[in-house]
Structure 1
Amino acid sequence: MQESKKTYYIDLSSGEISQSVSASTWNFKIEATDEEITQLREEFNYNYHMGIQNFLRAHIPFDEYHNDKENHAQDGSLLRIYEMIYQLGDTEAKKHIESMGILPKQ
């Protein structure tokens, strides 16, 4: 039996995932299974923790951004979040992400 999808609203800046359209501000509307939402939450958590590490490390002046593996890890995580939102998102979400030009051509 295939798991049913539910509607979720995503606030990218806070990493919030809600089923209530009016609970907070949101950027993207998606349809996802419980498993897909778990994966998205895990990616948001990873991205958040990488952000903290990057913030702390940013106070070391001789580390350059382009040579920093933590920054690359956070960039990769954000890209995976956008890919998931693109795959699960409604037409408006897909169009917005396409307009950003950050994902490889589908």
Structure 2
Amino acid sequence: MDIRTCYISVQAKTIMENQGDAAYEFEIKASQEDIEKLRELFEVMEEYDEGTYIRAHLAGIAYHLDSDNDGYDDTLKEIYSMIAKLGTEETKDIVMKMDLENLGNWTSP
């Protein structure tokens, strides 16, 4: 199995093999299968993101009652879980310090 170093930007939804191609947040060691799965998750997250954009323009639908937001949050957790599993020690440390259990539980002041 061919394992290669990849540089991941969750914010930009990108997976790069060359460190200097663009800004990134995480470094992982991944097989081609892992890379394809991560790409699929980014695509799913993008679809949910489009749905949340539409909901944001409709008054009266609360965040916690919107299935697109739930799907986005769940997919984001799955992405971070995969990054933690495949990440370098530094990447694993960063992801483990993130409060992923409370993702989506934000309430306005």
| TM-score higher than 0.5 | yes
Q: Distance in 1 between matches of 2:52 and 2:100?
A: 21
1:40 aligns with 2:27: no
**What is the Cα deviation at residue 49 of structure 1?**
1.2
Alignment coverage as a number of residue pairs? 101
Q: Match of 2:65, as an amino acid?
A: N
Q: CA RMSD in A?
A: 0.9
Deviations 1:53-98 (A, max 9, x none): 1101211111100111110000000000000000000011110011
- What SS does structure 2 have at the residue aligned with 1:36? helix
**What is the Cα deviation at residue 101 of structure 1?**
2.9
Q: Distance in 1 between matches of 2:67 and 2:4?
A: 36
Q: TM-score under structure 2 normalisation?
A: 0.89
Query: Sequence identity, in percent?
Result: 31
Consecutive unaligned residues in structure 2, runs of 5 or more? 102-109
Q: Distance in 2 between matches of 1:58 and 1:96?
A: 30
Q: Match of 1:37, as an amino acid?
A: I
Q: TM-score under structure 1 normalisation?
A: 0.92
Runs of 4+ in 1 over 3 A off after TM superposition: none
Q: Distance in 2 between matches of 1:84 and 1:4?
A: 18
Deviations 1:26-73 (A, max 9, x none): 100000000110000000011011101110121111110011111000
